Structure 1
Amino acid sequence: MDRSTQIKAMSGAPRLKILRLLANPQAHFGHQWSADPVEFGVCMSLIAEALEVAQPTASRHLELLKQAGFITVRKHAKWSYCKRDEAAIRDYLSWLGTELVVTAETVG
């Protein structure tokens, strides 16, 4: 995985908000009627609505999260559904923690 893409993905407040919202999809998107938000994912249009941004803006944020490997996107009919990739997020956080420790030891 390209760590620079992951760092960029984590550096934006809207993208962090998306990941927080998707961490508990039932609480934030339980009103989604087209598919179970926990099992299937959350419709991109509902994510845009939650962010209070236009669909193209939300799509750009979601695309970067997808490129970073933090979400998966599943298409069904005319909609696209997003779901967190918990393993990829854990891997990134583990890598970041290791990098920060190594950097601190090197500098110190």
Structure 2
Amino acid sequence: MTSSEDRETQIKALASEARLAILRVLADPKTHFAHQRSADPVEVGVCMTLIAEALGVAQPTASRHLHILRQAKFVTVRRHLKWSYCQRDDRRIQEHLDWLSGELLPKR
């Protein structure tokens, strides 16, 4: 069960165009990050440096956005060798969308 505090964090996480952009590019890492050579972008995730490049922002800015997405549980981060790699958590995103539609759409 997700708490109201978690829901608030998730809503805030989605209130940023930069964070939405991150979620969009991570939805199809094979297409957007095929040039990543250090690890398979689908299986391991996408290097934070490449996410910053895709957004056209400095790495600390991208890291901050990724931290917020991680707090919302929409992104997971794992270490591989000496880098950190990010993946979307589609199950958590879908759970949030299901909750949101239940809250906002009329009951049938």
- TM band (smaller chain): over 0.9
Structure 1 unaligned blocks of 5 or more: none
Equivalent residue for 1:28? 32
* 17-26 vs 76-85, greater mean Cα deviation: 76-85
SS in 1 for 2:105: helix
Shift of residue 26, structure 1, vs aligned partner:
0.5
The alignment-based identity, stated in percent, is 64
In the alignment, is residue 7 of structure 1 matched against residue 6 of structure 2? no
- RMSD value over aligned CA atoms? 1.0
Q: Aligned residue pairs: how many?
A: 103
Larger Rg: 1
Structure 2 unaligned blocks of 5 or more: none
When normalised by structure 1's length, the TM-score is 0.92
Task: Describe how 1:80-91 pairs up with structure 2 within 5 A.
Answer: 80-91=84-95
Equivalent residue for 1:68? 72
Query: What amino acid is the match of 2:53?
Result: E
Shift of residue 82, structure 1, vs aligned partner:
0.2
Equivalent residue for 1:95? 99
When normalised by structure 2's length, the TM-score is 0.92
Which structure has greater helix proportion?
1
Misfit runs of 4+, over 6 Å: none
